[in-house]
Amino acid sequence: MELSSCKEEDKSQIVYKTEKRTQSRPEARGRAVFQPAWENGQLVAVTNTVLQYTYPLKLLLPQNVSRTKTCQWLYVITFGGGLVAGDNIQLDIELAEHCTVVVTTQASTKVFHSVDDLVTCQTVEAKVGAGSLLVLLPDPVVCYKDAAYRQEQVFHLNQSSSLVLLDWYTSGRMARGECWEFQSYHSTNSIYLDNRLVFRDVVCLQDTPLLPVHQAMAQYNVVGMCVLIGPALSDLYKKLLNELGRSKPYGYKYKKDVVLSISPLRFEKEEEEIHGAVVRVMAYTTTQVFTEMERILQDLYPRLGGNPFENKY
């Protein structure tokens, strides 16, 4: 992790130097592998074949959450109610062909304050097989005052696999009056299609001498991004591009408390066009984002066997 500090070389110019943070704890690793079950040539279930984890990470596979056997739901939780300084989580997820898996959490990912310059790290790497759909819908990351957090998520797809990725974070413990008071937040999301990088999004938030984060964010307390990519989602992102991306009529009054935008993803792979969309949101509260995401993704609920946002807010 690199943080910016400044010194004055002369009165007319500010020069930044980088200060490397250290992270000393060994990795807490988790791994989940999913395989399809066939009967008479028909897909009848998605089964979990490998489920491994070490403290403080825990992986749960509730049996009665999804109403369909062709979708598994995986819950990622941590003991102790959150991640403390120096925690280092590594999660690997693998979907074989024709699997549908939802990965979510029971509550927000709480990141406690940094001690002795330790950074809290979390890494997710997922491989999605042909014809499979991975839906990653965690609760938001909540960085407490003076927390230092670094996250990297990497997804490997092929031309017929699909991905829904929700990545979002809040200003801190809003009920305690915290407002963007963490030391640093760094998140990288990378999507590879047949080993070719097709999407990367990097967010790095930290105060600078010229602009504190809370001033840049103004009244907004929640920021998020949802990526939809792959053939299984084509109808959904076409609908969203038409709904959220169309021009507004003259005199349209935009809502200030929730801001939504959408951008198309288009690229070619072996003369075939691959499509997707990126939805970005800013809001005053987490409830507002939950409501918008629940509405945006509702067309997927029959395949998932339920609503992952139910009872979340």
- Tell me whether residue 234 is in a domain: no
The residue among 284 and 80 whose pLDDT is bigger is: 284
Percent of the chain topping pLDDT 70: 90
- Tell me the C-alpha to C-alpha distance, in Å, between residue 84 and each of 79, 115, 149, 220: 11, 9, 10, 26
- The total of structural domains in the chain comes to 1
4 domain-assigned = no
Q: Which of 13-22, 103-112, 262-271 has the lowest mean pLDDT?
A: 13-22
Vertex 277 angle, CA 160 and 151, to 5°: 90
Residue 98 lies in a domain: yes
Query: What is the pLDDT, as a whole number, of residue 3?
Result: 38
pLDDT digits (tens, 9 = 90+) for 262-310: 999 887 666 666 789 999 999 999 999 999 999 999 999 999 999 999 9
Domain that holds residue 50: 21-224
Q: What is the mean pLDDT of residues 200-208?
A: 95
- Decide if 217 is inside a domain: yes
Mean pLDDT, range 3-7, rounded to an integer: 37
Strand-strand pairing, 2-10 and 13-20? antiparallel
Lookup: tokens for 134: 């991975």
User: What is 133-158 written as a DSSP string?
Assistant: EEEEEPPPEEEPTT-EEEEEEEEEE-
Least confident among 23-27, 37-41, 245-249, 252-256: 23-27
Q: Among residues of the chain, what percentage have pLDDT more than 90?
A: 77
CB 184 within 8 A of CB 206: yes
Note whether residue 10 is domain-resident.
no
70 pLDDT band, cuts 50/70/90, is: very high
Instruction: Kindly state whether residue 260 falls inside one of the protein's structural domains.
Output: no
Residue 116 lies in a domain: yes
Going by pLDDT thresholds of 50, 70 and 90, the confidence category of residue 4 is very low
pTM for this predicted structure: 0.89
pLDDT (average), residues 198-205: 96
List pLDDT tens digits, range 221-273.
Answer: 999 999 999 999 999 999 999 988 877 777 777 788 999 999 998 876 666 66
- 175-189 average pLDDT score: 94
Helices and strands, number each (H, E), in the chain = 4, 19
At 9, which helix (H) or strand (E)?
Answer: strand 2-10
- Domain membership of residue 11 (yes or no) is no
The pLDDT of residue 117? 87
Average predicted confidence (pLDDT) for the chain: 89
Is residue 91 within 8 A of residue 76, CB to CB? The reply is: yes
Distances (CA, A) of 210 to 4, 35, 202, 215, 260: 12, 51, 21, 10, 28
